[in-house]
Structure 1
């Protein structure tokens, strides 16, 4: 992961620098420096990457078009059960 991917991932998640720093347990300035192109220690980059992956990001490696990010699909079996609108009533409307 590079700084550009970090910034892209954060934007895709709607996450602030402060939120990412808290999730990764690093200083806010560390995230800012990384996104600005500064190299960080491997364990620091790993902590930032893990926080973003835990939040739902997949990092895409270089494939001739450049590295990138995407969001994980939400699995339907993890979704809350839904009731069709026409079947809602006072007993099942929570």
Structure 2
């Protein structure tokens, strides 16, 4: 999952950055930095992805295109 996919998933799931912080155990400031383009640890990236996947997001990357699907 990259920063753009994180933003797309949060938007599609209607989850705020602070809610994602609570769900993932990653600090809100770290999420904000990540979504703004800064690097974060692989451990934190995995925690974010796992929390979003548990909320229903599905991440994929094919032919140079990143996508996220969420339940209706």
The TM-score normalised by the length of structure 2 is 0.93
Residues 1:41 and 2:55 are matched in the alignment? no
CA distance in 2 between partners of 1:47 and 1:65 (Å): 24
Structure with bigger helix share is 2
Give yes or no for contact 1:24–1:48 (8 Å, CA) kept in 2. yes
Structure with bigger strand share is 2
The TM-score normalised by the length of structure 1 is 0.72
Structure with the larger RCO, 1 or 2 (CA within 8 Å, 6+ apart): 2
Query: In angstroms, what is the RMSD of aligned CA positions?
Result: 1.2
Higher Rg of the two aligned structures: 1
Structure 1's unaligned 5+ residue stretches are 74-94
**Structure 1: which 4+ aligned runs deviate by more than 2 Å?**
none
